Amino acid sequence: MSDLFDAPAPGTNAPEFTVSEISGAVKKMIEGEFGHVRIRGEIGRVSRPRSGHVYLDLKDDRAVLSGVIWKGVAARLATQPEEGLEVVAIGRLTTFPGQSKYQIVIEHIAPAGMGALMAMLEKRKKALEAEGLFAAERKQPLPYLPEVIGVITSPSGAVIRDILHRLRDRFPRKVLIWPVAVQGEKCASEVARAIEGFNRLTPGGALPRPDLLIVARGGGSIEDLWGFNEEIVVRAAAASRIPLISAVGHETDTTLIDHAADRRAPTPTAAAELAVPVRMELLAWTDGQGARLTHALTRGVALRGQRMKDLARALPRPAQLVESARQRLDYTGDRLGPALVAAAQGRRVKLSQVSGSLRPAALRRLTSEARIRLGDRTARLTPDTLQRDIARKRRELDAVLARLSRAGSVQTDAWRKRIDGLERMRQSLGYTETLKRGYAVVRGGGQVVTTRAEAETAQGLEIEFQDGRLTVDRAPTKIPEARSDPPGQ
């Protein structure tokens, strides 16, 4: 049996290969014949595993070719593969022996013509627009006169010179330039980093934060301007907190950054004109407004002056307003002197009439009469009289208290306090308090003796002191006449 397997069949001379040998031979042949190829086709399935490589299919209406883009190459591609995009892929054909299939290792990929680019651009535009990145309510107003302007462009092109020259002619401002590549593979990443970098500057820091950004580039083909259609640039422009003007290409060139920016300028020069006003026009406008203000003030003052004159015609003259008052003042002034003299004479006559009755004899008579009335009143104020009055008042008080008690009046305490007050007043006004100060009461025949003559005629005298009474019985004698000499003479 082994001989049958080891020996070749009779009549055949074909060599015998292993699977690996035939796969290696096919690999060498394909890589030798198709070492560098350009293949046009539509991208089908696209897969991006975590390894970073990109796997895709290139197809037409009759065949499918597998493709792979290694991680390092995929990061450098200007155009990222998208399903449905017609492209031209450049690379080399090779085989994958593990699955007995051949594939293309893509080294560069580009849209296949203008139609493919526009289709991809339209598809990306719709996706970003659906996210709201182009919405009008996201747009920020441009500052009227920015202090610092940030320009993102190539530092070596004519664009920056045009912008600086236009700013210098219209209104000189401080300009910060962030140099970037404006085409090629590095364009999109550098422009996005520049926008984010300006936004990260701290207001008032060592490097001033711009009040306005301008992203500018000259005209070119759609391939040259493609970096400004990249999603990373559009998102950076939409997220900018600093107002941004897009000035990419000429008037007919449109990129996606134009839709995300706060304002689109047809040319870089027009962007400078949008950024600042014309200084001379602003000065002229200010002068015109000042002239209008002065004219308005002057005219207003003149109109109010004329109005005041018109109203003044209906008013009387100031002299007429005071004429009657001045006349009354003169008339009153003329009467004032004689009136004062007459008043003084009248007061003098009245004083003479009053002073005529104030003679010493009349005063002595009035004094004597007052003393007699005082003596009669004092004679009536004897202790017995006072005792009778007090007893009568007490009876009246007891009667009043009895009535109040029967009626249940709440004013008993008030009446009692009033009676007690009257009693204290009686004691303070009574003569017994005077006796305590060293005085004495002299009585003769039961009457108070107040004169020397009454004492001389009295048969007996009774003297009341503070601590009691003393009776003096004696024959009437003539009491020596009192001397009027002062003590000590």
Q: Could you report the per-residue pLDDT of 252-289, keeping only the tens digit for each?
A: 778 899 999 999 999 999 999 999 998 888 888 888 99
Q: What is the pLDDT of residue 483?
A: 46
Q: What's the mean pLDDT in 12-36?
A: 79
Phi-psi region of 113 (alpha: psi -120 to 50; beta: other; left: phi over 0): left
DSSP alpha helix (H) spans, 36-186? 71-76, 114-130, 158-170
The answer to whether residue 376 scores a pLDDT higher than 70 is no
CA-derived radius of gyration, the chain: 67
Q: What is the pLDDT of residues 72-84, one digit of tens each?
A: 888 888 778 888 7
Per the CB < 8 A criterion, the answer to whether 77 and 109 are in contact is yes
Note the pLDDT tens digit of each residue in 164-217: 999 999 999 999 999 999 988 889 999 999 999 999 999 888 899 999 999 999
Q: Quote the pLDDT of residue 355.
A: 72
Residues 295 and 243 in one domain: no
Is 184 in the same domain as 71?
no
Classify the C-alpha dihedral 37-40-45-47 as positive or negative: positive
pLDDT at 1: 38
Residue 114's pLDDT band (cuts 50, 70, 90)? low
How far apart CA 387 and CA 390 sit, in angstroms, is: 5
Q: Could you tell me if 299 and 267 lie in one domain?
A: no
Count of domains forming the chain: 5
Q: Would you say residue 387 lies in a domain?
A: yes
* Domain encompassing residue 236: 134-277
DSSP code at position 254: -
d(CA 198, CA 241): 10
Q: Identify the three-state secondary structure at position 113.
A: coil
Same domain, 263 and 303: no
Tell me if 229 is assigned to some domain: yes
Which tokens belong to 75?
Answer: 């990061």
**CATH (domain of 234):** 3.40.50.261
Contact of 472 with 441, CB cutoff 8 Å: no
Q: What are the strands, taking DSSP E only, across 136-208?
A: 148-153, 174-179
- Say how far apart CA 154 and CA 183 lie, in whole Å: 10
Same domain, 296 and 260: no
What is the per-residue pLDDT across 323-336, written as a single tens digit (0 to 9) for each?
888 888 888 888 88
Q: What average pLDDT does the chain have?
A: 82
Residues 155 and 242 in one domain: yes
Q: Which of 1, 205, 203, 34 is nearest to 104 (CA)?
A: 34
List pLDDT tens digits, range 397-437. 888 777 766 665 556 677 778 788 777 777 766 777 777 77
Judge if 105 and 225 occupy the same domain.
no
